[in-house]
Amino acid sequence: MKPRPATVHLPSPHLPDADWADRFELALNGKGLTAVEAAERSLGNSPGWVSALLKLRNRMVSLVGLKTEAPFPGKYGLIGPFPVLSRNDDEVVLGFNDAHLDFRIVVDVRAGSAVNQIVGMTTLIRRHNTLGRVYLAAVMPFHKVIVPTMLAGAAGRQD
């Protein structure tokens, strides 16, 4: 099964002031995948074309003074380029705050049918200013392709 858009509700306890959010879900055959494992598979092993786009993004945003990498490793280290803020078997929260926006990525797992589980990836954004709104609008077409691609990695990356 391919990742599909899912409903997300605001406010979220992970970023209570978020003013934008989306969510994708993927049904995986089998059981027992933890949220941390799903996040590592999804975010810790990007396909080459996603890595290339992120490098391009970093070069471009550095020109306007935005952060090009995480400012700190997070309480539980990093998964891919993202600081891990909290984690348990069912949910891992990643992200950081910046001058233009704050963001969180929430990867969660839950039981699906008797033979599968659902892995979800929610993106939460709190835009602080015009730059945050412009930035989000500029990356949105890429976000809508990259997030499902990354989430599909929870099933096992096949570059």
90-120: pLDDT as tens digits:
999 999 898 889 999 999 999 887 778 999 9
Judge if pTM exceeds 0.95: no
Q: Is the pLDDT reported for residue 25 higher than 70?
A: yes
* DSSP reduced 3-state for 145: helix
Q: Which amino acid is at 70?
A: A
- The per-residue pLDDT for range 36-54, each reduced to its tens digit, is 999 999 998 888 888 788 7
Cβ 70 vs Cβ 80: under 8 Å: no
